[in-house]
């Protein structure tokens, strides 16, 4: 269970990205974090694994106080937190397999990792995950030869091979087309369910969020302004988060679109994008 | 008539530049031309124009003496040519040993200390770059005596700055998302280096190395003029004895060697990218 | 799913080698080793002389702490002025000649005969080291800065025209077409479509070349083509390391100033 208490972040420029945010994510819950650009979504999840140093507040992951840790302990904790990125953030000149195995870096020594001598159990797991995301036929392809959807699948495998307790997902679908976006979101949510993982998913697309996550938190100017079930996210709440807009028109369109969608299109044809 | 109309009417007047700006530009040109003329007078004062008027005749005379090249002299050139190749190749290899660490110390995103170590690394780079390899050779010949060792070290010293500068610029331009993703897995500092940074700069590194090798072939052909070995030594000897047919042969050989090395370098660089 | 898991269990993985064909991989390795063996073997080093030189080397390093700008003051000022003046004039003239040559060497602008002619000029200029050109120029025009000026101008053409031509070839075609479509003449077209696109790069390259020309001008004196090189050569010949250190420090300082101002100018034009 992740427990964030009074987390604040002020950048050197003087911008308050987060203002005393408190949030609890129970085990196994998939949480969608929505809000306008610049609301602090990205800062919030980066504070959890301290890619961004929080200014104050505490982060408690299953009893470990992340904000207090020195670099060695922090690395140990980062191993338990998988992260998936908007632009995939694969190391483009490494192969698919090397990218997936890089998720195990926290567990192997420098020289072993330099010569790519990972334990057989890691390699087995990598093959298993690549099969699960439908990419086991591209093991030795270089990451920059892959399409967007395929790259994000590799990104997912890299996060999962860490055997994480928590998944941080930063705009996983922002660079993908609508169909691939759904496939990727479905894949992430299925995998979380299979493994009983909790996840925080930053997401721009409100309709997509409502479709897949169990709980939605709305962030506005660094503060939590909504926290509840996807169903209770109506136009007044959206106005509160994003500002004035004719929400009925857009959400109706989205709703009808949702009904037409075929729910079975995930990972049957992984190379379609 | 027309202009006064335009000025008094309400129609907007479009001017490429404001009057003040235009004046400043004219003034800048004036200064520029004045400086150039002054410089030219300086050179002119130091020139024996008598010789210059005679130049076409002298050029024709030299051409007459230099052709045809003295082909049998080729036998005496192979060894110096081999030396020249070695000076360039070993010199380049030697420079890499120092240039790579200096580049990492000089790059803003990998330097251990931006206030102390980075300026020192940058000073090394600018020192090495500012001084022509011929001056380095002059210096080394004075210190360790004539020969190809002095030439090799001169080439290496000059190349360190070149390679390190281009390499540290490449390091500063890497994609930080990829580094962030590797950091998030709990990788150590050296692992982040070997998985997140090195793969990204590898093509630039290989390209820079081959590029510098090609330049070094060109440079090492003349090091002999100051006694640092190679084919330049033969050139110097032939010039001193006014053996123009030998000079033309040596110049021809140098030309061919440079063209071949440039071709090899271009081919390798194309293969990398 | 469970079958697939069972299959994948125990599958080994190794990083595929960078060069796939084994004969090429091992061939290159063997070739490199043999080359290194013979190349290193060809070094005939007089270690006694080197050891003897270490002391001089140390003296030289110490000279940097105590450079002597004074004892050859007139030679020093004379040589530096000559170097700087050669640099400025040759860069200006080099740029002026480079621009038409670059236009001629851009395959998307020039007809084939002109293209080949300009490319030949560039190739010759690039293949000949400045010092070699300087030797010939001194032989033809006599000693002095004129030979250096011609040498550096010629070298500038090879550098600038080549890079500029590549930039022109890589320019955005749609902008060029749009201006052509207005019915502009060839010169208008160059002025409106080509020039704005390549101008920042031309300025950046010119500043860079100014820097290179200065560094080169410091060695042309070795063969009598003017500049500080002659003084430097004398200083080394006489083991006057403190004077040599003074000259080298000045060169480094001027290069640093040039680099700094060129970075400012480049930021300013972009």
CA angle at B115 for the pair B111 and B117, rounded to the nearest 5° = 50
pLDDT at B109 over 70: yes
Across the interface, whether the CB atoms of A123 and C15 are under 8 A apart is answered no
Q: Is A252 exposed, middle or buried (0-12, 13-18, 19+ CB in 10 A)?
A: exposed
Among candidates C46, C60, C216 on the partner chain, residue whose Cβ is nearest the Cβ of B132 = C216
The pLDDT score that the predictor gives to residue C174 is 80
Interface check for C38 against chain A (CB to CB < 8 A): the answer is no
Across the interface, whether the CB atoms of C8 and A124 are under 8 A apart is answered yes
Question: Is residue C10 very low, low, confident or very high in pLDDT (cuts 50, 70, 90)?
Answer: low
CB C31 within 8 A of CB C19: no
Interface check for C21 against chain B (CB to CB < 8 A): the answer is no
| B118 and B31 in a common domain | no
- As a whole number of angstroms, the distance between CA B128 and CA B108 comes to 20
Question: Is residue C3 very low, low, confident or very high in pLDDT (cuts 50, 70, 90)?
Answer: very low
Interface check for C17 against chain A (CB to CB < 8 A): the answer is no
Question: Is residue A202 very low, low, confident or very high in pLDDT (cuts 50, 70, 90)?
Answer: very high
CA angle at C182 for the pair C176 and C188, rounded to the nearest 5° = 65
Position B99 in a domain? yes
Position B109 in a domain? yes
pLDDT at A242 over 60: yes
In angstroms, the separation between the Cα of residue B186 and the nearest Cα of chain A is: 4
| B234 and B111 in a common domain | yes
Which of residues 225 through 254 in chain C touch B, CB cutoff 8 A?
226, 229, 232-233, 236-237, 239, 244, 248, 251-252
Position B72 in a domain? no
Q: CA end-to-end span of chain A, whole Å?
A: 36
Residue C51 main-chain phi, psi, to 5 deg: -60, -40
The ipTM, to two decimals, is: 0.83
User: Which pair of structure tokens corresponds to residue C44?
Assistant: 């005939």
User: Which pair of structure tokens corresponds to residue C92?
Assistant: 């200006």
Task: Return the CATH architecture of domain C81-269.
Answer: Orthogonal Bundle (1.10)
User: Which pair of structure tokens corresponds to residue A234?
Assistant: 């109506």
CB B220 within 8 A of CB B230: yes
pLDDT at C70 over 70: yes
pLDDT at A33 over 50: yes
- Chain A residues with CB-CB distance to C5 below 8 A: 128, 131
- Chain C residues with CB-CB distance to A116 below 8 A: 14-15
Interface check for C13 against chain A (CB to CB < 8 A): the answer is yes
pLDDT at A92 over 70: yes
Q: Over range A160-185, report the average pLDDT.
A: 90
Q: Over range C2-18, report the average pLDDT.
A: 64
Q: What is the radius of gyration, based on Cα positions, of chain B?
A: 27
In angstroms, the separation between the Cα of residue C23 and the nearest Cα of chain A is: 21
Task: Note the pLDDT tens digit of each residue in B138-156.
Answer: 888 888 888 899 999 999 9
Structural domain range at position B154: 80-272
Question: Is residue A250 very low, low, confident or very high in pLDDT (cuts 50, 70, 90)?
Answer: low
- How many helices (H) and strands (E) would you count in chain A? 10, 10
Which of residues 124 through 183 in chain C touch B, CB cutoff 8 A?
126-129, 131-132, 135-136, 139-142, 144-146, 149
In angstroms, the separation between the Cα of residue A154 and the nearest Cα of chain B is: 12
Q: Over range A260-267, report the average pLDDT.
A: 41
Q: Is A161 exposed, middle or buried (0-12, 13-18, 19+ CB in 10 A)?
A: buried
Residue A29 vs residues A43, A47, A173, B76: alpha-carbon distances, Å = 20, 19, 20, 81
In angstroms, the separation between the Cα of residue C38 and the nearest Cα of chain A is: 30
Q: What per-residue string of b and e applies to A55-69 under the rule 16 or more CB within 10 Å gives b?
A: eebebebeeeebbeb
Q: Over range C46-63, report the average pLDDT.
A: 84
3-state secondary structure of A202: strand
**Mutation for testing the A interface, residue in C10, C15, C18 having most A CBs under 10 Å:** C15
CA torsion sign, C150 to C154 to C157 to C160?
negative
Mean pLDDT of chain B: 88
| B264 and B142 in a common domain | yes
Across the interface, whether the CB atoms of A83 and B181 are under 8 A apart is answered yes
Would you give the distance in Å from CA C75 to the centre of its chain? Answer: 27
pLDDT at A252 over 80: no
Across the interface, whether the CB atoms of C252 and B40 are under 8 A apart is answered no
Number of domains in chain B: 2
Task: Note the pLDDT tens digit of each residue in C210-262.
Answer: 999 999 998 898 888 888 988 888 888 888 888 888 999 999 999 889 888 88
Question: Is residue C156 very low, low, confident or very high in pLDDT (cuts 50, 70, 90)?
Answer: very high
The DSSP annotation for C98-112 comes to HHHHHHHH-TTTS-H
User: Which pair of structure tokens corresponds to residue B135?
Assistant: 């001056």
Across the interface, whether the CB atoms of B180 and A51 are under 8 A apart is answered yes
Mean pLDDT of chain A: 85
pLDDT at C42 over 90: no
Among candidates C4, C5, C13 on the partner chain, residue whose Cβ is nearest the Cβ of A123 = C13
CB C69 within 8 A of CB C231: no
| B112 and B15 in a common domain | no
Give residues with Cβ within 8 angstroms of C156, minimum separation 6. C90, C91, C93, C94, C95, C97, C98, C209, C213
| B232 and B143 in a common domain | yes
| B31 and B122 in a common domain | no
- As a whole number of angstroms, the distance between CA C106 and CA B73 comes to 40
Task: Note the pLDDT tens digit of each residue in B179-233.
Answer: 999 999 999 989 999 999 999 999 899 999 999 999 999 999 999 888 888 898 8
Percent of chain A past pLDDT 90, that is, above it, reads 38
**Mutation for testing the A interface, residue in B182, B186, B197, B201 having most A CBs under 10 Å:** B186
**Mutation for testing the C interface, residue in A122, A123, A127, A194 having most C CBs under 10 Å:** A127
Q: Over range A43-50, report the average pLDDT.
A: 91
| B30 and B90 in a common domain | no
Percent of chain C past pLDDT 90, that is, above it, reads 28
- As a whole number of angstroms, the distance between CA A104 and CA A113 comes to 9
Strand A30-34 with A2-10, pairing: unpaired
Among candidates C8, C14, C16 on the partner chain, residue whose Cβ is nearest the Cβ of A127 = C8
Task: Note the pLDDT tens digit of each residue in C25-40.
Answer: 899 899 999 999 999 8
- The position carrying tokens 């400025």 is C88
Question: Is residue C45 very low, low, confident or very high in pLDDT (cuts 50, 70, 90)?
Answer: confident
Position B56 in a domain? no
CA torsion sign, C107 to C111 to C113 to C117?
negative
Q: Over range C171-183, report the average pLDDT.
A: 80
The pLDDT score that the predictor gives to residue A127 is 93
- Chain A residues with CB-CB distance to C11 below 8 A: 123-124, 127
In angstroms, the separation between the Cα of residue B211 and the nearest Cα of chain A is: 21
pLDDT at A57 over 70: yes
In angstroms, the separation between the Cα of residue C29 and the nearest Cα of chain A is: 19
Mean pLDDT of chain C: 86
Across the interface, whether the CB atoms of A91 and B184 are under 8 A apart is answered no
3-state secondary structure of B62: helix
Position B60 in a domain? no
pLDDT at A236 over 50: yes
Across the interface, whether the CB atoms of A127 and C11 are under 8 A apart is answered yes
Question: Is residue A255 very low, low, confident or very high in pLDDT (cuts 50, 70, 90)?
Answer: very low
**Cis peptide bond upstream of B68, omega within 30:** yes
Position B61 in a domain? no
Tell me which residues of chain A have a C-beta less than 8 Å from any C-beta of chain C.
95, 97-98, 116, 120, 123-124, 126-128, 131, 136, 139-140
Would you give the distance in Å from CA C255 to the centre of its chain? Answer: 13
Position B71 in a domain? no
pLDDT at B4 over 50: no
Give the CATH number of the domain where residue B248 resides.
1.10.3720.10
Query: Which pTM value belongs to this model?
Result: 0.83
In angstroms, the separation between the Cα of residue C70 and the nearest Cα of chain B is: 21
Across the interface, whether the CB atoms of B51 and C42 are under 8 A apart is answered no
Task: Note the pLDDT tens digit of each residue in B58-108.
Answer: 888 888 888 888 888 888 889 999 999 999 999 999 999 999 999 999 999
| B40 and B90 in a common domain | no
Q: Count how many pairs of residues, chain A against chain C, have C-beta atoms within 8 Å.
A: 28
CA torsion sign, B206 to C219 to B36 to C94?
negative
Residue C108 neighbours by CB distance under 10 Å: 13
Residue spans per domain, chain C: 81-269
Across the interface, whether the CB atoms of C12 and A120 are under 8 A apart is answered yes
Neighbouring chains of C at 3+ CB pairs within 8 Å?
A, B
pLDDT at A87 over 70: yes
| B263 and B130 in a common domain | yes
Among candidates A85, A94, A114 on the partner chain, residue whose Cβ is nearest the Cβ of B177 = A85
pLDDT at B163 over 50: yes
Residues facing A83 on adjacent strands: A168
The pLDDT score that the predictor gives to residue A267 is 40
pLDDT at A272 over 70: no
CB B238 within 8 A of CB B249: no
Higher pLDDT, B118 or C72: B118
**Mutation for testing the A interface, residue in C8, C10, C16 having most A CBs under 10 Å:** C8
Tell me which residues of chain B have a C-beta less than 8 Å from any C-beta of chain A.
175, 177-178, 180-188, 190-191, 194-196, 199-200, 202-203
User: Which pair of structure tokens corresponds to residue A116?
Assistant: 């790519």
The pLDDT score that the predictor gives to residue A258 is 45
CB C99 within 8 A of CB C164: yes
Q: Is B49 exposed, middle or buried (0-12, 13-18, 19+ CB in 10 A)?
A: exposed
pLDDT at A157 over 90: yes
Domains of chain A from N-terminus onward: 21-52+70-258 (3.40.50.300)
Name the residue of chain C whose CA is nearest to A93's CA.
C18
Among candidates A85, A102, A168 on the partner chain, residue whose Cβ is nearest the Cβ of B195 = A102
In angstroms, the separation between the Cα of residue C24 and the nearest Cα of chain A is: 20
pLDDT at C153 over 90: yes
């Amino acid at each position: 269970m992740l427990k964030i208490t009074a987390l604040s972040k002020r950048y050197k420029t003087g911008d308050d990205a987060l203002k005393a945010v408190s949030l609890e994510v129970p085990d196994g819950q998939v949480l969608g974090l929505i809000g306008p650009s610049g609301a602090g979504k990205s800062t919030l999840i980066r504070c959890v694994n301290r890619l961004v140093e929080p200014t104050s507040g505490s982060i408690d992951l299953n009893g470990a106080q992340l904000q207090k840790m020195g670099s060695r302990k922090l690395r140990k904790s980062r191993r338990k937190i998988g992260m998936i990125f908007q632009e995939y953030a694969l190391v483009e000149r490494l192969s698919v397999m090397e990218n997936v195995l890089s998720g195990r870096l926290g567990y192997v020594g420098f020289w072993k990792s330099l010569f790519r001598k990972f334990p057989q159990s890691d390699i087995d797991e990598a093959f298993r995950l690549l099969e699960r995301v439908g990419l086991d036929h591209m093991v030795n392809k270089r990451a920059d030869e892959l399409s967007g959807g395929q790259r994000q699948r590799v990104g997912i495998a890299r996060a999962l091979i860490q055997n994480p307790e928590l998944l941080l997902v930063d705009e996983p679908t922002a660079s993908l087309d609508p169909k691939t976006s759904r496939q990727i979101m479905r894949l992430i949510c299925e995998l979380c369910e299979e493994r009983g993982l909790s996840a925080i998913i930053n997401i721009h697309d409100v309709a997509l969020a409502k479709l897949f996550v169990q709980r939605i938190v709305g962030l506005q100017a660094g503060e939590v302004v909504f926290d509840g079930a996807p169903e209770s996210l109506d136009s007044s709440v959206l106005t509160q988060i994003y500002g004035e807009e004719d929400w009925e028109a857009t959400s109706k369109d989205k709703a009808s679109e949702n009904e037409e969608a075929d729910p079975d299109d995930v990972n049957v044809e992984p190379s379609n994008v | 008539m027309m202009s006064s109309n335009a000025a008094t009417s309400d129609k907007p007047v479009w001017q490429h530049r404001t009057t003040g700006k235009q004046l400043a530009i004219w003034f800048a040109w004036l200064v520029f031309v004045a400086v150039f003329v002054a410089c030219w007078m300086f050179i002119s004062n130091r020139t024996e124009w008598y010789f210059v008027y005679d130049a076409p005749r002298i050029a024709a005379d030299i051409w007459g003496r230099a052709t045809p090249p003295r082909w049998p002299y080729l036998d005496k050139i192979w060894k110096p040519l081999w030396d020249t190749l070695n000076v360039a190749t070993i010199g380049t290899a030697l420079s890499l040993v120092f240039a790579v660490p200096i580049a990492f110390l000089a790059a803003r995103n990998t330097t251990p200390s931006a206030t102390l170590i980075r300026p020192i690394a940058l000073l090394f780079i600018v020192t090495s770059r500012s001084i022509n390899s011929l001056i380095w050779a002059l210096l080394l010949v004075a210190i360790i005596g004539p020969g190809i060792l002095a030439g090799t070290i001169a080439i290496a010293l000059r190349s360190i700055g070149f390679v390190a500068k281009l390499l540290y610029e490449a390091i500063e331009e890497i994609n930080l998302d990829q580094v962030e993703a590797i950091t998030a897995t709990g990788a150590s500092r050296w692992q982040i280096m070997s998985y997140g940074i090195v793969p990204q700069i590898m093509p630039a590194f290989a390209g820079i190395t081959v590029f510098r090798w090609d330049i070094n072939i060109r440079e090492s052909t003349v090091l002999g003029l100051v006694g640092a070995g190679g084919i330049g030594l033969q050139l110097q000897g032939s010039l001193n004895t006014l053996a123009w047919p030998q000079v033309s042969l040596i110049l021809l050989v140098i030309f061919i060697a440079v063209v071949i090395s440039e071709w090899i370098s271009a081919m390798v660089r194309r293969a990398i990218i | 799913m469970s079958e697939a898991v069972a299959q994948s269990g125990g599958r080994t993985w190794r990083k595929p080698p960078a060069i796939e064909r084994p004969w090429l991989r091992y061939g290159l390795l063997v070739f490199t080793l043999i080359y290194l063996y013979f190349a290193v073997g060809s070094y005939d080093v007089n270690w006694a002389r080197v050891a003897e030189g270490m002391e001089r080397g140390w003296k030289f390093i110490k000279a940097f702490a105590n450079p002597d700008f004074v004892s050859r003051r007139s030679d020093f000022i004379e040589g530096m002025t000559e170097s700087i003046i050669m640099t400025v004039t040759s860069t200006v003239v080099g740029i002026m000649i480079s621009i038409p040559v670059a236009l001629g060497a851009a395959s998307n602008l020039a007809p084939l005969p002109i293209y080949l002619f300009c490319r030949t000029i560039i190739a010759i200029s690039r293949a000949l080291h400045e010092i070699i050109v300087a030797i010939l120029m001194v032989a033809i025009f006599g000693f002095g800065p004129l030979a250096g000026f011609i040498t550096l101008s010629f070298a500038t053409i090879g550098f600038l025209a080549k890079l500029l031509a590549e930039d022109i070839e890589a320019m955005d075609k749609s902008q060029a077409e749009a201006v052509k479509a207005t019915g502009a003449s060839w010169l208008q077209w160059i002025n409106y479509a080509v020039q704005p696109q390549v101008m920042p790069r031309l300025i950046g390259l010119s500043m860079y070349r100014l820097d290179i020309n200065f560094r080169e001008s410091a060695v042309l004196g070795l063969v009598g083509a003017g500049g500080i090189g002659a003084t430097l050569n004398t200083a080394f010949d006489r083991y006057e390391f403190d004077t040599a250190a003074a000259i080298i420090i000045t060169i480094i300082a001027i290069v640093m100033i040039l680099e700094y101002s060129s970075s400012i100018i480049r930021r300013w034009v972009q």
